[in-house]
C-alpha cells in the first residue's frame, strides 16, 4: 500500500467517525420539537382503547343477564301455561267425572230393574230345573248331539308348529314322555328342540332313575338351557352329566343332599355360561365358593340360603379371578354363620347387587346392613323376614340406595321413625310390606301419603292402625296410584275410612280387610263403589245379608272371601242362601269364592252358583254343616278346586255349629256354676242348722 492511499483511507475513516458521532450528539442534545404531540396522540389512542374494553366488558355482562332473564321468563311462561293446562284438565275431568257418575247412576238404576227381571227369570228357571231329576245344560245337549255321529278324527300334527309348541309347553316331563309313546307322529312332535330347553326333574324325582336322567342330558345337551334338580338325591356320576350341557344358563340344585364340592367342580368347569344358580340347603363349603368367581364370571342370580358350611373366608373368595361383579340377586337366608366381616367381603366382591334377600336370620344386626350398604349403592329391593334385631338405623343406612321394594315381617323394633325416613329418602318406592310390625301406628300412614309411586301396601297384623291413619294416608297423592292394599287384622279399622277409600282409590284392584271386626254393611256399600276392584277379602267382618247383596252390584269381582263372618244375633249368622242367590245372579265373572264358616248355607247355594257363576274355579266351604256331602261331590266335578268339610267351626271363630256365641255360653256356664255353688252353700248351712 502506498503512503497516499494510506492518508486517504485515514482521512475517510476520520470524517466518517466524526459524522456519526455528530448525528448522535445532535439527537441527544437537541430534543425533537413534536414529542408532546406524539404523547398526546398516544394518550388519546389509549383512552379510546380503554373505553372500548370497558364497553365490551359491560356489554358482555349485560348480554348474559338479558339471556338468563329471557330464559327465566320463558320458563315462567311455560310453567304458567302448564299450570293453566293442568287446571283446565282438572276442571274438564271433574265435569266429566260428575257426568260419568250421573250416567253410571242412571245406568245402575236401569240395571237394577233388569236384575229384578233377571231374578224372576232365575227363580222360574230354578223351579223348572228342580222338577227334573237331573240338570242338563245346553252345552251338554250340544255335546251329546255331536257325539251321536261318532267322534270326529283330528290330527294335532296338522296344527302350526308354533301352536304345537304352545300346547306341549304346558306338559310336565312325565306327560311329555307319555305323549311320545302314543304313535310316531306324536313322538316327532315331542322331540322338538324347543320343548327341551327347560327340564324339570324335581316333579318326577321319586320315579325317574339316574340312568334315564343321564340319557336325556346326553341326547338334548345342545338344547338344554334350564335344569331343575330340586330335592333330587342323585349320584355323583349323574351330577357329572350336567357338564354335557355346554349352553346351560339356569341351574337349580337346591335341597340336593348328595351335591358336594367335587360335583360342583365338574359342573363349573364345563358350564361357564350359567346366569342363575340355586345352591340353597346344600352342604357346599368354601371350596365351591372359590369356584364361583373363577368359572361363573357371568353369574347374575345366586342363592346360598340355608348353606351353613361356608364361612366369611368363603365370601372373600368371591373377589378372586374375574370375580362375581355382575351379580344382581343374592339370597343369604338362614346363613347365621355370616358375621359383619362376611358382609364386608360381600360388599367388596359384589358391589352391583340390586336385590337382596335375607330371611330367617336372627343374628342379622344393623351393623351387618351398614357394612353391606357402604359399597353396594345399587340395591333397590330388600327382603328381611325373621330378622328381629333390625331397627330404624338399618333404614337410615339404606337411605343411600334407590330403594323401590322393601319387605319386613315380625319386627318389633321398627317404629314410625323409619317411615319418616322412607318419605324423605325413598321417593321412588313402589312396594312396602311391613307385616306384623307392632310399633307401627297411624303416624306411619301419614308419612307414606306423599309417595307418588306407591302401588302395593301391606300392613297386615299392624294392630295399632285405625281409621285416622288411613284417612291421613288417603289424603295424599299415594292413594291415587295404589293398586293393592292389605290391612288384615287391623282391628281398629271401621266404616269411617271406607268412604274416603272409595273416593280416592279409583285404581285399587286388591283389597284385604280380613278380621276388621268394626266393618259393617255401611262400609261394604262404599267398597262396592270402587269399580276397579277384582279381589276382596271380608272374612271375619261384621257384614250380613244386606252387605253381601250390596256387594253383588259389583259385577267385575273375580275373587271374594266372606268366611268367618260372625255377625251373631238372636237369629244366628246372617249370611244365608238369599244373599248367595243375589250374588250368583249378578256376579257372573266370579272365579274364587270362600264361604267357610257360614253355617246357614245349604245345598240351595250350590245350585245358585252352578247356574249363575259359570266361571267359578275355586270354592271353599269349610264348616258348612247344612251342605250335604252329595251336593259337594257334585259341585267338585264343576270347579277346579274345592275345599269342603261338615265339621264344627274351630274355637277361634267365636261361635258354634248353631251360630251361638261361645262367649255367651261361657257367661251362662259361669252363672250356672255360681248358682249351683250358692245352692250348695245354702244347703250346707241348713244341714248345719
More confident call, 29 vs 639: 639
Phi, psi of 302 (to 5 degrees): -135, 130
> Looking at the domain assignment, is residue 415 inside a domain?
yes
Q: Average pLDDT over the chain, rounded to whole?
A: 82
Residue 379's pLDDT band (cuts 50, 70, 90): very high
* Per-residue model confidence (pLDDT) at position 140: 41
> Looking at the domain assignment, is residue 284 inside a domain?
no
In the three-class reduction of DSSP (H, G, I as helix; E, B as strand; rest coil), residue 590 is classed as coil
> Looking at the domain assignment, is residue 78 inside a domain?
no
Report, as an integer, the average pLDDT of 431-445: 89
- Per-residue pLDDT for 244 more than 70? yes
pLDDT > 90 in the chain, percent: 30
More confident call, 574 vs 231: 231
Q: Do 659 and 593 share a domain, yes or no?
A: yes
pLDDT > 70 in the chain, percent: 84
* Domain final residue, candidates 195, 218, 245: 195
How many domains are contained in the chain? Answer: 3
Q: Do 495 and 575 share a domain, yes or no?
A: no
* Per-residue model confidence (pLDDT) at position 157: 78
Q: Do 491 and 424 share a domain, yes or no?
A: yes
- Number of residues that make up the chain: 689
The lowest-confidence range among 119-133, 492-506, 606-620 is 119-133
* Domain final residue, candidates 195, 215, 246: 195
- Per-residue pLDDT for 148 more than 60? no
pLDDT tens-place string over residues 288-344: 999 998 888 889 999 999 999 999 999 988 887 777 888 999 999 999 999 999 999
- Per-residue pLDDT for 683 more than 70? no
> Looking at the domain assignment, is residue 360 inside a domain?
no
Element of type H or E holding 569: strand 568-569
Q: Do 465 and 439 share a domain, yes or no?
A: yes
Q: Do 548 and 649 share a domain, yes or no?
A: yes
Q: Is 0.85 topped by the overall pTM?
A: no
* Per-residue model confidence (pLDDT) at position 156: 79
Q: Longest C-alpha distance within the chain, in Å?
A: 189
The lowest-confidence range among 517-521, 610-614, 652-656 is 652-656
Q: Do 654 and 593 share a domain, yes or no?
A: yes
Q: Do 593 and 651 share a domain, yes or no?
A: yes
Q: Do 518 and 408 share a domain, yes or no?
A: yes
- Per-residue pLDDT for 645 more than 90? no
Whichever domain contains 430, its CATH number is 3.80.10.10
Report, as an integer, the average pLDDT of 187-194: 88
- Per-residue pLDDT for 33 more than 60? no
Q: Residue 462: which domain range?
A: 404-525
> Looking at the domain assignment, is residue 271 inside a domain?
no
- Per-residue pLDDT for 149 more than 80? no
Q: Do 661 and 615 share a domain, yes or no?
A: yes
In the three-class reduction of DSSP (H, G, I as helix; E, B as strand; rest coil), residue 311 is classed as coil
Whichever domain contains 163, its CATH number is 1.20.1280
pLDDT tens-place string over residues 53-100: 999 999 999 999 999 999 999 999 999 999 999 999 999 988 998 888
Distances (CA, A) of 633 to 187, 595, 625: 37, 17, 14
* Per-residue model confidence (pLDDT) at position 487: 93
> Looking at the domain assignment, is residue 70 inside a domain?
no
Provide the grid cell at 372.
Answer: 353391606
Element of type H or E holding 435: strand 431-435
Torsion angle, alpha carbons of 474, 480, 484, 488, to 10 = 10
List, in order, residues 6 or more apart from 91 with CB less than 8 Å away.
Answer: none
Q: Do 617 and 646 share a domain, yes or no?
A: yes
- Per-residue pLDDT for 571 more than 50? no
Q: Do 519 and 563 share a domain, yes or no?
A: no
Q: Do 510 and 557 share a domain, yes or no?
A: no
> Looking at the domain assignment, is residue 29 inside a domain?
no
Task: Give the distance, in angstroms, between the CA of residue 558 and the centroid of all CA atoms in the same chain.
Answer: 20
List, in order, residues 6 or more apart from 615 with CB less than 8 Å away.
Answer: 588, 589, 590, 591
> Looking at the domain assignment, is residue 583 inside a domain?
yes
Amino acid at each position: 500500500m502506498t503512503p497516499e492511499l494510506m492518508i486517504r483511507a485515514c482521512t475517510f475513516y476520520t470524517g466518517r467517525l466524526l459524522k456519526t458521532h455528530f448525528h448522535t450528539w445532535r439527537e441527544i442534545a437537541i430534543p425533537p420539537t413534536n414529542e408532546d404531540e406524539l404523547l398526546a396522540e398516544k394518550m388519546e389512542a389509549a383512552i379510546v382503547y380503554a373505553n372500548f374494553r370497558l364497553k365490551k366488558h359491560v356489554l358482555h355482562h349485560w348480554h348474559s343477564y338479558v339471556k338468563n332473564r329471557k330464559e327465566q321468563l320463558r320458563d315462567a311462561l311455560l310453567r304458567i301455561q302448564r299450570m293453566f293446562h293442568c287446571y283446565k284438565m282438572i276442571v274438564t275431568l271433574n265435569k266429566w267425572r260428575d257426568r260419568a257418575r250421573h250416567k253410571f247412576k242412571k245406568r245402575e238404576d236401569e240395571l237394577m230393574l233388569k236384575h229384578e227381571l233377571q231374578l224372576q227369570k232365575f227363580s222360574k228357571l230354578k223351579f223348572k230345573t228342580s222338577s227334573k231329576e237331573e240338570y242338563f245344560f245346553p252345552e251338554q245337549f250340544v255335546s251329546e248331539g255331536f257325539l251321536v255321529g261318532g267322534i270326529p278324527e283330528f290330527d294335532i300334527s296338522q296344527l302350526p308348529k308354533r301352536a304345537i309348541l304352545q300346547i306341549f309347553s304346558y306338559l310336565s316331563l312325565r306327560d311329555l314322555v307319555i305323549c311320545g309313546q302314543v304313535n310316531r307322529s306324536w313322538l316327532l312332535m315331542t322331540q322338538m328342540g324347543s320343548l327341551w330347553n327347560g327340564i324339570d326333574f324335581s316333579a318326577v324325582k321319586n320315579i325317574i332313575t339316574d340312568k334315564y336322567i343321564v340319557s336325556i342330558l346326553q341326547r338334548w345337551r345342545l338344547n338344554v338351557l334350564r335344569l331343575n334338580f330340586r330335592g333330587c338325591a342323585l349320584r355323583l356320576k349323574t351330577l357329572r352329566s350336567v357338564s354335557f350341557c355346554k349352553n346351560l344358563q339356569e341351574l337349580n340344585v337346591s335341597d340336593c343332599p348328595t351335591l358336594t364340592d367335587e360335583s360342583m367342580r365338574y359342573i363349573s368347569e364345563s358350564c361357564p355360561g350359567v346366569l342363575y344358580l340355586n345352591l340353597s340347603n346344600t352342604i357346599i363349603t368354601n371350596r365351591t365358593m372359590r369356584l364361583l368367581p373363577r368359572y361363573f364370571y357371568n353369574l347374575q342370580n345366586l342363592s346360598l340360603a340355608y348353606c351353613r358350611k361356608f364361612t366369611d373366608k368363603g365370601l372373600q373368595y368371591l373377589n378372586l379371578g374375574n370375580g362375581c361383579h355382575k351379580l344382581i340377586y343374592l339370597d343369604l337366608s338362614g346363613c347365621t354363620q355370616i358375621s359383619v366381616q362376611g358382609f364386608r367381603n360381600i360388599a367388596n366382591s359384589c358391589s352391583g347387587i340390586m336385590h337382596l334377600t335375607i330371611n330367617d336370620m336372627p343374628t342379622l344386626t344393623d351393623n351387618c346392613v351398614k357394612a353391606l350398604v357402604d359399597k353396594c349403592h345399587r340395591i333397590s329391593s330388600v327382603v328381611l323376614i325373621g330378622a328381629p334385631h333390625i331397627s330404624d338405623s338399618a333404614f337410615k343406612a339404606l337411605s343411600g340406595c334407590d330403594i323401590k321394594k322393601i319387605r319386613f315381617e315380625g319386627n318389633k323394633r321398627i317404629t314410625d321413625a323409619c317411615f319418616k325416613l322412607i318419605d324423605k329418602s325413598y321417593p321412588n318406592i313402589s312396594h312396602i310390606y311391613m307385616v306384623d310390625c307392632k310399633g307401627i301406628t297411624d303416624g306411619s300412614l301419614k308419612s307414606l301419603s306423599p309417595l307418588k309411586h306407591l302401588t302395593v301396601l301391606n300392613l297386615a297384623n299392624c294392630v295399632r292402625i285405625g281409621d285416622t291413619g288411613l284417612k291421613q294416608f288417603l289424603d295424599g297423592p299415594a292413594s291415587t296410584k295404589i293398586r293393592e292394599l292389605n290391612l288384615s287384622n287391623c282391628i281398629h279399622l271401621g266404616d269411617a275410612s271406607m268412604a274416603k277409600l272409595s273416593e280416592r282409590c279409583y285404581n285399587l284392584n286388591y283389597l284385604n280387610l280380613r278380621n276388621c271386626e268394626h266393618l259393617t254393611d255401611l262400609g261394604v256399600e262404599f267398597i262396592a263403589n270402587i269399580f276397579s276392584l277384582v279381589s276382596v277379602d271380608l272374612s271375619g267382618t261384621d257384614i250380613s245379608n244386606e252387605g253381601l247383596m250390596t256387594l253383588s252390584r259389583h259385577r267385575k269381582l273375580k275373587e271374594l272371601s266372606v268366611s268367618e263372618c260372625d255377625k251373631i244375633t238372636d237369629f244366628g249368622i246372617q249370611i244365608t242362601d238369599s244373599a248367595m242367590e243375589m250374588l250368583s245372579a249378578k256376579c257372573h265373572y266370579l272365579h274364587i269364592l270362600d264361604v267357610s264358616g257360614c253355617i246357614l248355607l245349604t245345598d240351595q247355594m250350590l245350585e245358585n252358583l252352578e247356574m249363575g257363576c259359570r266361571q267359578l274355579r275355586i270354592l271353599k266351604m269349610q264348616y258348612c254343616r247344612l251342605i250335604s256331602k252329595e251336593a259337594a261331590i257334585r259341585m267338585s266335578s264343576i270347579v277346579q278346586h274345592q275345599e269342603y268339610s261338615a265339621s264344627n267351626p274351630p274355637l277361634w271363630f267365636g261361635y258354634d255349629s248353631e251360630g251361638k256365641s261361645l262367649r255367651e255360653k261361657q257367661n251362662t256356664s259361669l252363672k250356672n256354676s255360681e248358682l249351683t255353688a250358692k245352692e250348695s252353700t245354702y244347703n250346707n248351712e241348713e244341714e248345719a242348722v
